Amino acid sequence: MVRLGLLRRRPLLHVATDRGSGPVVVLLHGIASSWVTFENVIPLLDGRHRVLALDLLGFGGSPAPDDAAFTLDDHAAAVHRTLRRMRVGAPFVLVGHSMGALIAARYGAAFPRDLSRVVLVSPPIYLAPSAIGDPLDRAAMELYLRAYGFLRENKEFTIRAAGQLARLSPIKDLLDVSDDNWRAFVLSLQRSIESQTTVSDLAAIRVPIEIVYGTLDPFLAPAGIRIAERLRGVTSHRVVGGDHVIRRRMARVVATAVG
């Protein structure tokens, strides 16, 4: 469980979208992004759900406290405090994309009574390379971790590369790495993605878990996905030709997974 002291210290997050009526669906974006991640999903849900899209701690319009460690517990506690302050009633559906999927899994393990369903979209489920038997999978995991270390240690390169990718993105303002959010980016990458608890968190969740991912997602670790798919209560939805971004075709699959 998330420590109560940590929960009390976490600030309120920016609620970027609160629209529609009906059962509540909460949307959590990924690292270096914002609520716009779900611009293709929200119109498919708000006719039958109350849809809340939050900006995560340190990103979008949300604060980045000096004492935040940007661990999964930090992120989950900030989400929980925000929803509690809004008096969002349980149970609700929690949807996370990329790092937001890892936060959703942590939230589900920490606050099990809050949720009716968890939907993980494009989840980067990583394991320690030493825990992977297959040599190819182990090498792929090592490559991911080395790449992330390079991004953290080369600020100017990372900001420039993120800017170039943002200009190519099909969703405006989807990616933002800058001086303003650099600390949140680096620590979230290191402490929420590279050092994660996702497999054990998923094993602890007692509500249905839906995993949606594209077959061409460059951030997907096959070893992690295979383990997650074998866990109790997990249903997978493969989007053939889909990548890491929630384009319209993937958005329809996400909306179906929400129910």
pLDDT digits (tens, 9 = 90+) for 113-129: 999 999 999 999 999 99
- Tens-place pLDDT, residues 131-164: 899 999 999 999 999 999 999 999 999 999 999 9
Amino acid at 30: G
- In this prediction, residue 4 carries a pLDDT of 43
User: Burial level of 23, CB count in 10 A (0-12/13-18/19+)?
Assistant: middle
Mean pLDDT for 78-107 is 96
Mean pLDDT for 5-30 is 86
- Which residue matches tokens 């991911």? 144
Domains and their CATH numbers in the chain: 4-258 (3.40.50.1820)
The string of DSSP codes covering 45-80 is: HTTTSEEEEEPPTTSTTS---TT----HHHHHHHHH
Does the structure show a pLDDT above 80 at 202?
yes
- In this prediction, residue 139 carries a pLDDT of 94
- In this prediction, residue 6 carries a pLDDT of 54
- Tens-place pLDDT, residues 223-250: 999 999 999 999 999 999 999 999 999 9
Q: Is 247 helix (H, G, I), strand (E, B) or coil?
A: coil
pLDDT confidence bin for 90, thresholds 50/70/90 = confident
Mean pLDDT for 6-27 is 86
Mean pLDDT for 50-73 is 96
- Helix axis angle, 135-153 to 155-168, nearest 10°: 110
- In this prediction, residue 2 carries a pLDDT of 56
Distance (Å, whole) CA 178 – CA 159: 6
- Tens-place pLDDT, residues 100-113: 999 999 999 999 99
Query: What average pLDDT is seen over the chain?
Result: 94
- In this prediction, residue 236 carries a pLDDT of 97
Closest of 80, 120, 105, 116 to residue 250, by C-alpha: 120
- In this prediction, residue 93 carries a pLDDT of 98
107-to-51, 65, 165, 178 alpha-carbon distances in Å:
18, 20, 30, 27
16-to-13, 23, 144, 169 alpha-carbon distances in Å:
9, 18, 31, 20
CA dihedral (54, 32, 75, 102) positive or negative = positive
